[in-house]
């Protein structure tokens, strides 16, 4: 496992800083590297609609009412203060906090009937498909399909997610980039810490310079060389010209970088598109910030759901709409599955802090690309947005569908069954 | 120094805001001042500061991490102490305080506050008489939020999601201007652009200029995130703000009392953190340098007062 950068994870349980560049055990990293290199010649899955996946984890759990399932006909304490907006698909309304996504609704599907029973923050069941294995989607895809080209098969962007390859082994853990907008580098296990001198750090130092620094450290630091040759090999992988270039956001036109937004999330989406273009099989983005309460909008940091209006929805709206357009303009949307999910949704009733609390019984997901239909809504919630009204979709169903779209059929492949025990959502195929 | 800017930031606590102050000469120099002390640093988030015109008073909102509704506070900048605000909301939350320029009035948004008509309603404290005063015809069964007051508290700008037809389901947020002297909204000809969302109004002291954030397409036709607009009521026209907006999300405008300066929040690339504050001189049509204002964390929700009113003429 290799991590670059640092970021803060945050929800109502508190915040923690996750450091930064870590190298897993020698054998683990060696396998990961070997797999990545071996995968250069690996064929893509035969029946796959999608060659790559961008999975977006909206940490904290967005309100369905203030995103994709507005309830304007409900009382004020249910509907919230933000009215709906018409989309470019007749009959589909979303929350008015997402005006740019409203204009590209023909490119994505909304699932409005996701449901499970766990009201606590965590990555199960939504990131492991409800499996008993603590194994995330990306690791399963990495294990089953390997990589495409020279790129590592599984890359994570944003604050660390403590659910990785689990029983599949550390070889399928992701390479982790904590913040694509910064170049902060630390190697926790080295003595003394090989931290970039703060005086040398310019604002928004390019991530790519961090890779150069890593390489220089490996070449000049005998202690590191003696300690962990796998570290050197990992750096070797990341500093290969074609791989290095995939991480270099400065190669993008400034205007396009602006369109994605300067937020960590916006630039993570842009990097995801570059990684797809370079052949990365699975990119996982965790919503990451430098302050605030994230999507966990109980009303404990700013009043109520004000965070949705101030920065959460604007950042999400700008980056996602741009990602869809950008992938389409580059001819990549049809072969790239994009899924945005979270651990749960929010309560239908607004609390006395004008916020909403955890609610797993019904919430929404965003799905686009990879041959999925656009301009569609699957399932519906009841009038208050409290429970599925029809077509309930569970975490296992979403998992089975995701794997099917990338060419792994959980109905026929025994090795996949432990990770996808639901039914395929056929409307998404 | 000519300007005093209050703002919220996560720079000292990543999961809770603090109120900071910054003095600026109206040209290119500035300095960060002592932040507003917080009573319980680990538990309370302070945000949404609002200064009166001369910077004597700073209202702000607080939110505790526990299951406690949000409240308002009023800070006396000279005496460095909190002033008493009567009539705490016992059933919901109060937020979004907005001071009048003369420091007599404080408007705010109450969630499920007794006396309201909907969910989010607007209220007005008379700080001289220490009591709430009526705002006839303003609140509805829909949501009224984000108040901004003129110098003497006569004009009150706010947003509402009440439908244009006056009945039916709530619609897109739009800005209204309420005249306390008549108890009625006044027309803002040519300002709204349905179906695009307008929000975050800020008034000049005389109520002539109204700055706000809008999600309407930019004049060049590009459809970006929020941008800032300035509406001149006397001309019923928009004032050009060349060089102010970016391709990124620009929002939370705060007009100086005289209407010359505009502080705002932006997520543009040349910032220090994800959200940074900027200061624009409407007279010279330039962004002003603000050394020491921003931080690698997030700065937001600026409010401007003027220490040298002669500087603040358009």
CB contact under 8 A, A310 and B297: no
Please indicate whether residue A404 or residue A429 has the higher confidence score (pLDDT): A404
Q: Within 10 Å of residue B195's Cβ, how many Cβ atoms?
A: 16
Can you name the residues that pair with A287 across neighbouring β-strands? Answer: none
User: At residue B206, what are phi and psi to the nearest 5 degrees?
Assistant: -85, 0
- With a CB-CB cutoff of 8 Å, which residues 70-129 of chain B face chain A? 70, 91-93, 95-96, 111-112, 118-120
- Return the closest-CA partner of residue B113 out of B146, B148, B87, B147: B87
Please indicate whether residue B268 or residue A323 has the higher confidence score (pLDDT): A323
Asked whether the predicted pLDDT for residue A262 surpasses 60, the reply is yes
Token duo for residue B182: 């008549």
Q: What residues of B are in contact with residue A352 (Cβ under 8 Å)?
A: 67, 69, 91-93, 111-112
CB contact under 8 A, B95 and A262: no
Q: What's the domain count of chain B?
A: 1
CB contact under 8 A, B273 and A300: no
CA distance A365 to A391: 14
Q: Is residue A80 part of a domain?
A: yes
B291 touches chain A (CB under 8 A): no
The pLDDT of residue B247: 86
The label of the residue with tokens 């599984």 reads A154
Minimal C-alpha gap between A413 and chain B (Å): 45
> Among A314-318, B93-97, B166-170, which is the least confidently predicted range?
B166-170
Minimal C-alpha gap between A258 and chain B (Å): 6
CA distance B82 to B80: 7
% of residues, chain A, pLDDT over 90: 55
Please give the average per-residue pLDDT across B258-270, as a whole number.
94
Write the pLDDT tens digit of every residue in B133-157: 999 999 999 999 999 999 999 999 9
Q: Is residue A233 part of a domain?
A: no
CA distance B159 to B142: 11
The label of the residue with tokens 């909304």 reads A110
- By C-alpha distance, the chain A residue nearest B119 is A76
Angle subtended by helix axes A229-238 and A26-38, to nearest 10: 30
User: At residue B39, what are phi and psi to the nearest 5 degrees?
Assistant: -70, -40
Instruction: Give the CATH number of the domain where residue A128 resides.
Output: 3.40.720
Q: What residues of A are in contact with residue B297 (Cβ under 8 Å)?
A: 290-291
Q: Which residues contact A408 (CB under 8 A, 6 or more apart)?
A: A45, A140, A141, A144, A145, A416
CA angle A160, A63, B122 (to 5 degrees): 125
Cis peptide leading into A192, omega within 30 of 0? yes
Q: Is residue A197 part of a domain?
A: no
CB contact under 8 A, B63 and A354: no
CB B49 within 8 A of CB B18: no
Angle subtended by helix axes A137-145 and A395-405, to nearest 10: 30
The three-class DSSP label of residue B228 is strand
The pLDDT of residue B169: 87
pLDDT-derived band at A248, boundaries 50, 70, 90? confident
Give A153's DSSP letter: S
Average pLDDT over chain A reads 82
Q: Within 10 Å of residue B117's Cβ, how many Cβ atoms?
A: 12
Please give the average per-residue pLDDT across A88-105, as a whole number.
96
Q: Is residue A240 part of a domain?
A: no
Please give the average per-residue pLDDT across B114-126, as a whole number.
92
Please give the average per-residue pLDDT across B70-87, as a whole number.
90
- With a CB-CB cutoff of 8 Å, which residues 6-25 of chain A face chain B? 8, 10, 14-15
CA distance A66 to A51: 32
CB contact under 8 A, A263 and B274: yes
Write the pLDDT tens digit of every residue in A133-189: 999 999 999 999 998 888 889 999 988 888 989 889 888 888 888 888 764 333 223
CA distance A189 to A176: 17
Asked whether the predicted pLDDT for residue A240 surpasses 90, the reply is no
pLDDT-derived band at A9, boundaries 50, 70, 90? low
A257 touches chain B (CB under 8 A): yes
Q: Is residue A216 part of a domain?
A: no
Please give the average per-residue pLDDT across B5-11, as a whole number.
95
Asked whether the predicted pLDDT for residue A3 surpasses 70, the reply is no
User: At residue A78, what are phi and psi to the nearest 5 degrees?
Assistant: -105, -50
Q: Is residue A21 part of a domain?
A: yes
Minimal C-alpha gap between B89 and chain A (Å): 10
The pLDDT of residue A299: 84
First to last CA, chain A: 33
- With a CB-CB cutoff of 8 Å, which residues 202-221 of chain A face chain B? 203-204
First to last CA, chain B: 18
The pLDDT of residue A101: 97
Q: In the sheet that B3-9 helps form, which strands lie side by side, from edge to edge?
A: B30-32, B18-24, B3-9, B299-306
Minimal C-alpha gap between B304 and chain A (Å): 19
Task: Tell me the CB-side half-sphere exposure of residue B123, using CA atoms within 13 A.
Answer: 28
Q: Is residue A269 part of a domain?
A: yes
Q: What residues of A are in contact with residue B48 (Cβ under 8 Å)?
A: 302-303
Asked whether the predicted pLDDT for residue A43 surpasses 80, the reply is no
Q: What's the domain count of chain A?
A: 1
Which residue range(s) make up the domain with B278? 3-312
- By C-alpha distance, the chain A residue nearest B66 is A300
Q: Is residue A178 part of a domain?
A: yes
A177 touches chain B (CB under 8 A): no
Instruction: Give the CATH number of the domain where residue B256 resides.
Output: 2.120.10.30
CB B247 within 8 A of CB B261: no
B197 touches chain A (CB under 8 A): yes
The pLDDT of residue A372: 97
The three-class DSSP label of residue A257 is helix
A261 touches chain B (CB under 8 A): yes
CB A272 within 8 A of CB A54: yes
Which residue range(s) make up the domain with A303? 2-185+253-428
Please give the average per-residue pLDDT across A364-368, as a whole number.
98
- C-alpha distances (whole Å) from A330 to each of A101, A327, B258 are 19, 5, 49
> Among A36-50, A316-330, A375-389, which is the least confidently predicted range?
A36-50
CA distance A129 to A339: 13
């Amino acid at each position: 496992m290799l991590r670059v950068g640092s970021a803060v994870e945050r929800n109502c349980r508190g915040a923690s800083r996750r450091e930064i560049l870590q190298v897993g055990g020698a054998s683990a990293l060696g396998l990961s590297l070997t797999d990545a290199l071996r995968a250069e010649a690996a064929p893509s899955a035969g029946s796959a609609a999608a060659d790559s996946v961008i999975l977006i984890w909206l940490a904290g759990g967005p309100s369905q009412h203030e995103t994709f399932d507005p309830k304007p006909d409900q009382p004020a304490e249910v509907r919230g203060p933000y009215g709906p907006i018409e989309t470019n698909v007749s009959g589909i309304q979303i929350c008015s906090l997402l005006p740019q996504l409203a204009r590209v609704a023909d490119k994505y599907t909304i699932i409005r009937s996701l449901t499970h029973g766990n009201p606590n923050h965590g990555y199960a069941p939504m990131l492991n498909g409800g499996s008993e294995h603590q194994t995330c989607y990306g690791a399963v895809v990495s294990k089953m399909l390997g990589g495409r080209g020279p790129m590592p098969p599984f890359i994570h962007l944003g604050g660390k997610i403590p659910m990785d390859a689990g029983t599949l082994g550390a070889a399928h853990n992701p390479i982790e980039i904590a913040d694509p907008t910064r170049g902060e580098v630390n190697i926790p296990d080295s003595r003394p810490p090989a931290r970039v001198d703060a005086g040398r750090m310019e604002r928004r130092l390019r991530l790519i310079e961090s890779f150069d620094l890593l390489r220089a450290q490996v070449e000049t630091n005998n202690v590191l060389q003696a300690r962990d040759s796998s570290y050197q090999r990992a750096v070797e992988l990341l500093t290969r010209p074609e791989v290095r270039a995939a991480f270099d956001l400065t190669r993008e036109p400034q205007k396009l970088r602006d369109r994605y937004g300067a937020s960590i999330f916006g630039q993570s989406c842009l990097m995801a598109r570059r990684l797809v273009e370079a052949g990365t099989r699975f990119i996982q983005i965790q919503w990451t910030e430098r302050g605030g309460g994230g999507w966990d909008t109980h009303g404990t940091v700013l009043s109520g759901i004000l965070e949705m209006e101030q920065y959460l929805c604007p950042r999400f709206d700008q980056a996602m709409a741009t990602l869809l357009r950008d992938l389409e303009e580059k001819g990549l949307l049809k072969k790239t599955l994009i899924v945005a999910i979270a651990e749960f949704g929010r309560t239908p009733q607004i609390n006395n802090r004008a916020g909403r609390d955890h609610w797993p019984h019904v919430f929404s997901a965003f799905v686009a690309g990879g041959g999925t239909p656009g301009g569609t809504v699957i399932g519906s919630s009841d009038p208050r947005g409290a429970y599925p009204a029809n077509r309930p979709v569970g975490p296992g169903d979403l998992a089975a569908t995701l794997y099917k779209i990338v060419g792994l059929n959980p109905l026929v492949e025994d090795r996949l069954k432990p990770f996808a025990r639901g039914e395929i959502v056929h409307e998404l195929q | 120094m000519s300007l005093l800017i209050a703002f919220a930031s996560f720079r000292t606590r990543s999961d809770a805001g603090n109120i900071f102050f910054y003095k600026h000469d109206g040209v290119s120099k500035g300095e960060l001042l002592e932040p507003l002390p917080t009573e319980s640093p680990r538990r309370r988030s302070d945000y949404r500061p609002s200064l009166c015109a001369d910077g004597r008073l700073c209202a702000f909102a607080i939110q505790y991490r526990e299951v406690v509704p949000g409240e308002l506070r009023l800070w006396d900048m000279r005496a460095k102490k909190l002033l008493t605000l009567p009539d705490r909301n016992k059933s919901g939350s109060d937020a979004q305080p907005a001071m009048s320029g003369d420091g007599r009035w404080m408007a705010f948004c109450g969630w499920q506050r007794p006396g309201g008509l909907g969910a989010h309603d607007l209220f007005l404290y008379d700080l001289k008489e220490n009591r709430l005063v009526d705002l006839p015809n303003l609140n509805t069964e829909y949501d009224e939020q984000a108040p901004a007051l003129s110098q003497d508290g006569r004009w009150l700008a706010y947003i509402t999601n009440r439908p244009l037809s006056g009945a039916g389901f709530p619609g897109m947020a739009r800005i209204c201007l309420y005249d306390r002297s008549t108890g009625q909204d006044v027309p803002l000809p040519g300002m709204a652009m349905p179906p695009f969302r307008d929000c975050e109004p800020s008034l000049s002291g005389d109520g002539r200029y109204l700055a706000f954030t809008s999600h309407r397409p930019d004049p060049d036709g590009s459809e970006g995130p929020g941008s800032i607009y300035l509406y001149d009521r006397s001309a019923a026209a928009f004032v050009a703000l060349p060089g102010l907006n970016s391709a990124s999300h620009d929002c939370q405008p705060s007009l100086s009392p005289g209407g010359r300066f505009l502080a705002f929040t932006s997520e543009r690339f040349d910032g220090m953190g994800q959200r940074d504050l900027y200061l624009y001189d409407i007279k010279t049509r330039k962004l002003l340098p603000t050394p020491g204002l921003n931080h690698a964390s997030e700065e937001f929700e600026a409010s401007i007062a003027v220490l040298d009113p002669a500087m603040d003429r358009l």
